[in-house]
Amino acid sequence: MHINDGVRLPKNVAGGRRKFTTLVDLCRARASAEPDMRAYSFYADGRTEWDALTLADLDRRARALAVLLSELAPRGTRALLCFEPGLDFHVAFLGCLYAGLIAVPVAPLDGTRTSVKVGRIESIVASCGPELLLSTGMTFAKCLGVVEETPALAGLVRVSVDETDPAFAHRWTPPGVGINTPAYLQYSSGSTGEPKGVTLTHGNVLHNLALIHENLYRPADEERLPRPPSVSWLPSHYNMGLIGGVLDPLYAGRQALLFPAGVFVRSPISWLRLISQLGRADSCAPNFALDLCVRRIPEAQMAKLDLSGWEMALIGGEPVRAKSLERFLEVFAPVGLRRGTLVPGYGLAESTVMVTSALVGEGPVILRCDTDTLTRGRVRPVDPPGGRQLVSSGPVSPSITLVVADPTTSQECADGEVGEIFVQGPSVGTGYWNQPDEVFHAELPGRRGPFLRTGDTGFRWDGELFVTGRAKEVIIIAGANHHPHDLEATAETAHPAVLACCVLGVDDGQRERVVVLAEVLGDVEPEEIVAAVRRTVHSGHGVRVDDVAVVAAGTLPRSSSGKLLRAGCRAAYTAGVCGTA
């Protein structure tokens, strides 16, 4: 969808009241208004500030890099951004935009040729045909063998961003980009199939930044207080990490404190400790991060926290579970966490990142639905303790159109009827790069299209959107639909040694078999785990588990942000890598 207008900065953010039509204009205006603001701080170990960038630093280094990039490639060229955690990514990303190039963020290499990341990067290169590879001198030195031995990477022009002389900045000239110019390609975390790069324009991203800011309104805005600093460990090549850790601080006029995802996974206290030290703070994370904190933060560490200043915790990126929210609140309420801080949201890369979110300060809206009725596509609320708990993703902003429709007939569903979610609005990308598709061009009877066909299922209820799962991942048993993440949530409660589960529907040609891959910690007899998982899933859902594979903790394939990679899990199971019991 083309956008003919721009967006203004929030009223209390310095930089002028004119409308911005490109991210370049946004960054330049913010750097001019508050050049000395320390917008980004990087904590390599999660404790101590390792590096920082002021807005003037970012603008100057981005301009200098853009001068070099403009000499190497014409406007519209794709540039692969391959960075370890740190602030050089920020310079590279803005430098590409300042040069009119299309940034393509990817996961960092780890120096091994057999790495799954290398194969994925090769697929991305085949998809978008970049000419440049941007990273740091240290990464190139460490991974030189991998780069030179990988045909897809060996032919790319390498640029060490940290070795660019900032003195070149004065030679920069604006790149001549506009609101409908592609800014970057967002490749999904790849839970299914080959990677597809969503083409996002400057206008798409600007609208989404404004949408995020409006959706996350809170009373402090009325008092003209600036938005609090944000804390993030999400990788910059991941859509939530890119928006939250790079672009939102520019638009919202706030500071971002960033640290590596690996530090969080090894020591979850690092996340909450930084939030506690700040006083006022915002942060966002996928659902699994809440569970990890509950499991891995001991009482002695928790007692030193003060989470009373945590204003907003945006939870998204994967299905948000009521039990995860309630348990997280139960465990951390004694150190100041408020229910109103928890803000479930719904989004996807095809719509930049955010589609909807709950309201800050009001707490999650949870609806209990009769399970049998829900599997047949309708909603019937029930009283506790029965039914399936569904978490609202909030109301729909007037700036977007969201329709729930029957995926087969495209007829619009009434409130309380489950269907596929279709989205239309300025945040929706223009399509997948270099791939014909129908996803971005769906038509609905009686509606002016086109719509984005999300592949997600859900329903509207009392003005709120409830997401029930991924249409592609639905497991159909005896005519009833079961979403893997619901079965996983139940399977994970089967035994104290079970850390995480992946549930797959495997078609054997006659019927869909239910397979559970269970990560287990400790020395426990596999038969004990298998029996517990089968019993618990059948009791909770009436579903018979056909096979259980018990695997060691940490071996299920995950993305860099910790999201379960179902395609990887399926491939491992099919190949017999996961031993069954």
DSSP per-residue letters across 96-130: HHHTT-EEEEEPPP-S-TT-HHHHHHHHHHHHH--
Q: What is the pLDDT of residues 3-25, one digit of tens each?
A: 568 999 999 999 999 999 999 99
**501 with 491: CB under 8 angstroms?**
yes
The whole-number pLDDT of residue 509 equals 62
Angle at 482 between CA 381 and CA 538, to 5 degrees: 95
Note the CATH number of domain 267-472.
Answer: 3.40.50.12780
Classify each residue of 6-21 as buried b or exposed e, where b means 16 or more C-beta atoms within 10 Å of its C-beta.
bbebbeebebeeeebb
Flag residues of the chain having pLDDT under 70: 1-4, 114-116, 189-193, 479, 509-510, 579-581
The whole-number pLDDT of residue 477 equals 79
Q: What is the pLDDT of residues 95-136, one digit of tens each?
A: 999 999 999 999 998 877 766 678 889 999 999 999 999 999
pTM for the model stands at 0.88
What CA–CA distance (Å, rounded) separates 164 from 204?
Answer: 30
Homologous superfamily of domain range 476-574: ANL, C-terminal domain (3.30.300.30)
The whole-number pLDDT of residue 483 equals 83
Q: How many CB atoms lie within 10 A of CB 284?
A: 28
Note the CATH number of domain 23-37+54-200.
Answer: 3.40.50.12780
Residue intervals of the chain classified under CATH 3.40.50.12780 are: 23-37+54-200, 267-472
Using N-to-C axis directions, what is the helix angle for 23-33 and 88-98, rounded to 10°? 120
Look at the block and give the residue holding tokens 């406007």: 75
Rg (CA), the chain: 23
The whole-number pLDDT of residue 337 equals 98
**41 with 258: CB under 8 angstroms?**
yes
Residue intervals of the chain classified under CATH 3.30.300.30 are: 476-574
Which positions ≥6 away from 269 have C-beta within 8 Å?
Answer: 293, 296, 297, 301, 302
The whole-number pLDDT of residue 41 equals 98
The whole-number pLDDT of residue 581 equals 41
What CA–CA distance (Å, rounded) separates 66 from 100?
Answer: 8
Which residues, listed in sequence order, are joined to residue 368 by a DSSP beta bridge?
A: 389
